[in-house]
A = this chain, B = another copy of it.
Amino acid sequence: MTVLKGLSAFPITPSNADGRVDVAALRRLLARLVEAGVDSIGLLGSTGSYPYFSRTERRRALEAAVDETQGRIPIMVGVGALRTSDAVRLAQDAQAIGAVAGLLAPVCYTPLNDDEVYEHFITVARESQLPLCIYDNPTTTHFQFSRDLVSALSRVPEVIAVKSPAPEAHLAQVHHRELRAAVPPGFSIGYSGDGNSVEALLAGGDAWYCVAGGLFPETCMTIVRLIQGRRADEARRLNAALQPLWDLFKEYSSLRVMYAAANLLGICRAQPPRPILPVPDQVRQRIGETLTRLELR
């Protein structure tokens, strides 16, 4: 069975202005995830700002996470990079340090075609032997995965999973059925995009790659356990109650909101990597009020 199922929690990576990871703050975030018993940790995802960190800092973050979790929670780590050779080295690091999987996005500057992305993936897979999750995130990479390309990649032995943007709720069933038909049995299909993920999981998705879960694992675990227990209505109700949070994500991006929230909760004092700016004061205040009202802590 795949390790990528249930709740995969995606924390921010606290750092200073020079891009040095604040390992103590990261450990505080990870300790919450261990305590809540999330199914996996998505370290250095987009919310974890992986492309903004040097190889050295990505190593430091992963070493701290492996040490903090002590094998109790599987760790998937972002290994994406603009250059194939850099992605290979990051995947080799991840393999050596003890990640169970690498999350690989086709990071683009010059727009890439399907052949290029396919070659990129198989090179990283071959050179690292690390199990890989296809990271389909057109908001950041601007690369559009065709179903055919996902299907082709899913036949590569090291490629074990895909993280797709969750479609609008009313499209979840059709989208999931088509995606499932394109990949081999046992291949893990997971979803990101917090507000829409519940319907995608109810449609049969294996995993929720979850930004909110990186800071509020208890709440998100409750939703996942309800889904797994076929208590769809309760899961939907809890998800709907979080709508003010999903609205903030939509308006300011989940990354910016999570930085503000982690600071408000006193877990870290860190800002997103520049040029990304912290949200303005009045937005931070609204985030604080939302957390209080939703009893997120």
The residue among A17, A111, A140, A276 with the most chain B CB atoms within 10 A of its own CB is A276
Cβ-defined contact, B276 with A52, below 8 A: no
User: What are 17 of the A-B contact pairs (CB < 8 Å)?
Assistant: A51-B109, A52-B83, A52-B109, A84-B275, A106-B275, A108-B140, A109-B140, A110-B253, A110-B276, A111-B140, A111-B253, A116-B275, A116-B277, A117-B275, A119-B277, A120-B274, A142-B142
Residues of B within 8 A of A116 (CB): 275-277
A19 x B85 contact (CB < 8 A): yes
Which of the residues B18, B84, B123, B276 comes within 8 Å of A85, measured between beta carbons? Answer: B18
The winner among A17, A108, A274, A275 for most chain B CB atoms within 10 A is A275
Cα distance, A117 to B277, chains bound together (Å): 10
Chain A residues proximal to chain B, CB less than 8 Å? 17-19, 46, 49, 51-52, 82-85, 106-113, 115-117, 119-120, 123, 139-142, 253, 255, 272-277
Is there an interface contact between B111 and A277, defined as CB atoms closer than 8 Å? no
Q: Which of B18, B120, B275, B277 contacts A275 (CB 8 A)?
A: B120
Instruction: Give the distance to chain B from A119, nearest Cβ to Cβ, in Å.
Output: 6
Which of A46, A49, A85, A123 has the most C-beta atoms of chain B within 10 angstroms of its own C-beta? Answer: A85
Q: Which B-chain residue is minimally distant from A47 (CB atoms)?
A: B110
A46 to B82, CA, bound (A): 13
Chain B residues, CB < 8 A from A117: 275
Residues of B within 8 A of A273 (CB): 83
- Minimum CB–CB distance for A275 against chain B, Å: 4
B residues near A139, Cβ cutoff 8 Å:
111
Q: Pick the contact of A19: B83, B112, B276, B277 (CB < 8 A).
A: B83
CB distance from A122 to the nearest CB of B (A): 11
Q: A18-B85, A49-B110 are in contact. List 19 more A-B contacts (CB 8 A).
A: A19-B83, A46-B109, A51-B82, A51-B109, A52-B83, A83-B273, A84-B275, A106-B275, A110-B140, A110-B255, A111-B253, A112-B275, A113-B277, A116-B275, A119-B275, A119-B277, A120-B274, A120-B275, A142-B142
Q: Which residues of B contact A18 (CB under 8 A)?
A: 85
Measured CB to CB, the closest approach of chain B to A103, in angstroms, equals 14
A117 to B274, CA, bound (A): 10
Residue ID in chain B nearest A87 by CB atoms: B275
- A289 to B107 alpha-carbon distance, docked (Å): 33
Minimum distance in angstroms from A232 CB to a CB of chain B: 33
